[in-house]
Amino acid sequence: MHKNKLFISISTACILLGACSKKDIDPITQIPPARAEQIYNRVVREWDENKDGKASCEDVAVRRRALFKVVDADKSGDLWPGEYRLAKFEDRSFHFFEFPKADVDESGRIELDEFIAIPPSRFQGFDADSDCLISKEEALRAEIAAIRSGERRRSAKSEKNKKNDEKVEELLPIPD
Ligand SMILES: [Ca+2]
Ligand SMILES: [Ca+2]
Ligand SMILES: [Ca+2]
């Protein structure tokens, strides 16, 4: 009884003071379970190269090994700067690591272990706790963040369009 009363008074306080705004509700608790499952499965499908049903660093390594083979044009087993540059087109992670920074042992070549060791920027964007595994919660938070940044972009765009419309109006001849 006591608890109920307390609950009611807290809810009333929320309503009266507007203190418990929507902002305080964790948005991932608002996603229906079936939809949450769908989002998580999509993220796993996107990464799961080793087909173990999880999106992990191991999947990133599998992808890196495959990419290494592709860009190692002269099949020397290591990459020279020209070959390394090709990898940047496939994975933005390499943009953040110029050749000298990636060549940890300063051998003048990027060996496979150096290539795999470069932090995967997109994967890390999902893996908030850096445990090398994208959990369902991390997948959902990334999805919400993506939707929000999409909304921001859209509203910025419509703001721009509005300005353009105003400009167009300025350009229209004034009727007499
Ligand atoms: Ca996997
Ligand atoms: Ca090296
Ligand atoms: Ca994680």
One digit per residue, the tens of pLDDT, for the chain of length 176 reads 455 554 444 444 444 445 555 567 999 899 999 999 999 999 999 999 999 999 999 999 999 999 999 999 999 999 999 999 999 999 999 999 999 999 999 999 999 999 999 999 999 999 999 999 999 999 999 999 998 998 888 888 887 777 776 665 555 545 55
Q: Give the per-residue pLDDT at 79.
A: 98
User: Which residues have beta carbons under 5 A from ligand 3 (an ion)?
Assistant: 127, 129, 131, 133
In the chain, the domains with their CATH numbers are: 27-148 (1.10.238)
Q: Give the per-residue pLDDT at 60.
A: 96
Tell me the CA–centroid distance for residue 154 and ligand 3, in Å.
29
153-167 in b/e burial notation, b at 16+ Cβ within 10 A?
eeeeeeeeeeeeeee
Nearest ligand to the C-alpha of residue 108?
2
Entry pTM: 0.72
User: Which residues have beta carbons under 5 A from ligand 1 (an ion)?
Assistant: 48, 50, 52, 54, 56, 59
Q: Give the per-residue pLDDT at 167.
A: 62
136 residue type, one letter? K
Tell me the CA–centroid distance for residue 64 and ligand 3, in Å.
19
Asked if 121 and 92 touch (Cβ cutoff 8 Å), the reply is yes
Tell me the CA–centroid distance for residue 113 and ligand 1, in Å.
19
3-state secondary structure of 119: coil
The token duo for 162 is 């509005």
Q: Give the per-residue pLDDT at 13.
A: 47
Q: Give the per-residue pLDDT at 10.
A: 46
* Residue-level length of the chain: 176
Nearest ligand to the C-alpha of residue 138?
3
49-65 in b/e burial notation, b at 16+ Cβ within 10 A?
beeeeebbbbbbbbbbe
